[in-house]
A = this chain, B = another copy of it.
Amino acid sequence: MHPLLPFFKPQGVAIIGASSNPTKLSFGIFKNLLQYGFQGKIYPVNPNAKEILGLTCYPDILSVPDPVDLAVSVVASNLTPAVLEACGQRGIKAVTIISGGFREIGPEGEKLEKQCLEIAHKYGMRLVGPNCVGTMDLYSGLNTTFIHGVPEKGHIGFLSQSGAICGGIVDYVRGKHIGFSNFVSLGNEADVTETDMIEYLADDPDTRVIALYVEAIKDGSRFMGVCEQVAKSKPIVLLKAGKTQAGAKAVSSHTGSIAGAITAYKTAFKQCGVIEVDTVTDLFDVAHVLTCQALPRGNRAVILTNSGGPAALASDSLGMHGFSLANLEKETQEVLRSHLNPSAQVSNPVDMLGGAEPEDYERSFKELAKDPNVDILLPILVPQALIKAEKVADAIVNAAKGLDKPVLCCFMGDEAVQEARRVLHKNGFPMFTFPDSLGRVLASMKFYADWIEKSHRKTEWEIRRHRSTVEEVLSQYKYQRLIGEKDTRPILEAYGIPVIAGGFAANLNEAQKLYQEFGPSVVMKIVSPHILHKSDVGGIRIGIRNPEELEAAYHQMMEEVKQKMPEAMIEGVLIEKMAPKGQEVIIGMKRDPVFGPLLMFGFGGIFVEVFQDVAFRIAPVDHQEAREMVFETKSGKLLTGYRNLPEFDVEGIVEGIQRLGQLALDFPQIAEVEINPCLVLPKGQGVLALDGRIVLAEEQS
């Protein structure tokens, strides 16, 4: 049995702090428990009442008879630890703490919350909340919330990190015939997190799609791991608040948690198959469609309409989201022509004109569904005076039942299409009010279909590397966080990332020796733990072509650097071969506090700075993902033989990204790596790190 099952399908529920006063929230909870068909036992617990709404009231949880496997606590926060103790002694393994007054109010509440968690751990008990609205299971009838009303029974399992939002959503979805399996307010997530609940819903047979409202995720790696597995069989749709600076500020003042880098969030969602949406409406539209419709196998849609205007808007919506109007087979068009109004348009969009009858929809739909060029069907209706929208809905249901292509309907209006919506939703065909939503919803479906497809192609990979070399270099860095180019070079080499030939010279004499080795044309760079931007202080000389130039350059550099940064300790110089021709790019890694190593690829200079043309992934990335990074940037195409440019070694840079990811995974003490520039050589010749630096985490183990 899943340990979270009692939160949804308990055999008996005790409401600790149940009140008989109708103005109290706990009364609301109690009423809801009684009202929605829950078949288990219900026990109000309150030492000051004999019975509530006709049920025997118990003075404390210890005196509650069997069966009882869920307690809902609505007592004040300072009384909660005692309640948990009693529940633990009573052998209850699942407690929902509705009450607020915990972490969200400051240090004192945080202490109480910690205390609750300790008690839970002692008894092997799971906690939902505190500071939450409770859970609903539309199949068992359990409703431990005080929300007015419940959504219809269906197949969306909804999880929310905001409790207040839940009431608004229930009110919104009711009457729209969008059905739910579960409805969960997570509260402060002292114990049970969104990830735990995703795991539970993954196993719940009534949940076909998991929808989430999320403000912050604590354990990003676990979240990604779980979602990646679950998403293979159940879609996960997610709305993240705190996606902008303003939003992050609002989230952190709301939950006290740090939203983390939104780039990392967005990257993580995309990578682990989580369908991210931008609005509450989209959250439920997309989740609903995925509960009942097939995924699109391609991007060619057909529109069947009784009005040109909405068809044009739908076409725009398709075009904006990467879909196209299918070219109908000649045969399809001929059949349509034979039974439609002679003025009707039988190419796509198929416009049957205002007089179209339900039978026209049915016959035409059937014809279009058969057309091999059609991946997606979009019937549109603007209600007309003489035709009932619900009859058209019936016709579409008849024609579309059992079809394995996605069907999204658009019936414009409100009152005139309400009955049609009921018919369509009841039969598993989602209806939209305006055609401009269609493309966006389809794009979410297509993202998911593509991810599923990709997830089957994921490749195992292992990189040969010399961990001990890296360990040795890092062991020298006890107090200093910045590793300059000199010591970054052996680290990169240990992980198989080639660096430009060169070496370290502590003085001019050693530098001259290195010139003999790497000349006739070399670069000289200052080595100092205090200099981050070498070129800003005159610490780089390129194109040194003989020993005399080297000597002059050496003295000049020492002088200039000393003048510009007198306090910098100078260790010596690096002497490196002049770089061959190639395309300069940047690869980097920055460890995100939530999701771990965030890898970055981009072209240097203005490409990154002016065009923000960069791509991100969370490590590890397989070959396919690293390749996607390169070509997600617009400048990526400059690597593949653009105009007069040669073809560069894409495979080399792809491998470099993977190797950098491995380095970050192996050494959690590394906070940042930047290889900039990384030179991509012509095809077959690999890459060369021309410069690089590493930043260590503040707290080293």
A residues at B contact (CB < 8 Å): 23, 25, 28, 104-105, 146-148, 160-165, 167-169, 171-172, 174-176, 213, 215, 239, 241-247, 249-251, 253-255, 278-281, 303, 306-316, 318-320, 323-325, 343, 345, 347, 349, 351, 354, 382-386, 412-417, 433-434, 436-437, 606, 610-611, 613, 634-635, 637-638, 642
Contact = CB atoms under 8 A, between A and B. Distances in A.
Contacts of A312: 162, 215, 241-242, 247, 250-251, 254
A280 B436 contact: yes
Nearest to A310: B165
Which of A174, A415, A610 has its CB near the most chain B CB atoms (within 10 A)?
A610
A246 B324 contact: yes
A211 to B, nearest CB: 14
Which of A28, A176, A246, A314 has its CB near the most chain B CB atoms (within 10 A)?
A246
A164 B146 CA distance: 44
A251 B314 CA distance: 11
Contacts of A413: 167-168, 171-172
A134 to B, nearest CB: 13
In the A-B complex, the 4 residue pairs with the smallest Cβ-Cβ separation, listed nearest first, are A244-B319, A162-B309, A168-B412, A254-B308
Copies in the complex: 2
A329 to B, nearest CB: 17
A385 B249 contact: no
Given A105-B343, A613-B611, A638-B606, A412 B165 contact: yes
Given A247-B312, A436-B278, A345 B164 contact: no
19 contacts: A105-B343, A160-B309, A161-B309, A167-B385, A168-B413, A169-B412, A171-B414, A171-B417, A242-B315, A243-B320, A244-B316, A250-B314, A250-B315, A251-B315, A253-B345, A254-B312, A255-B308, A606-B638, A610-B637
A148 B306 CA distance: 17
A588 to B, nearest CB: 20
Which of A239, A253, A351 has its CB near the most chain B CB atoms (within 10 A)?
A253
Contacts of A613: 611
A164 to B, nearest CB: 3
Which of A148, A242, A313 has its CB near the most chain B CB atoms (within 10 A)?
A313
Contacts of A172: 412-414, 433
Contacts of A638: 606, 610
Contacts of A316: 241-244, 246-247, 250
A55 to B, nearest CB: 21
B164 A354 contact: yes
A324 B281 CA distance: 23
Contacts of A436: 278-281
Given A160-B309, A171-B412, 14 more contacts: A162-B310, A164-B306, A164-B310, A165-B382, A167-B385, A172-B413, A175-B414, A241-B313, A247-B318, A250-B308, A254-B345, A278-B436, A606-B635, A610-B637
A307 B162 contact: yes
Nearest to A306: B164
Contacts of A351: 253-254
Which of A171, A215, A436 has its CB near the most chain B CB atoms (within 10 A)?
A171
A302 to B, nearest CB: 11
A278 B147 CA distance: 35
A391 to B, nearest CB: 16
B253 A213 contact: no
A382 B164 contact: yes
Nearest to A301: B246
Nearest to A101: B343
Contacts of A314: 250
A241 B309 contact: yes
Contacts of A243: 316, 319-320
Contacts of A146: 385
B164 A415 contact: no
B383 A171 contact: yes
Which of A161, A176, A323, A385 has its CB near the most chain B CB atoms (within 10 A)?
A385
Contacts of A383: 167-168, 171
B28 A167 contact: no
B171 A246 contact: no
Nearest to A164: B307
A320 B241 CA distance: 12
B175 A415 contact: yes
Given A171-B417, A323-B246, A28 B385 contact: yes
Which of A165, A309, A637 has its CB near the most chain B CB atoms (within 10 A)?
A309
Contacts of A171: 383, 412-417
Contacts of A250: 303, 308, 311-312, 314-316, 325, 349
Contacts of A307: 162, 164-165
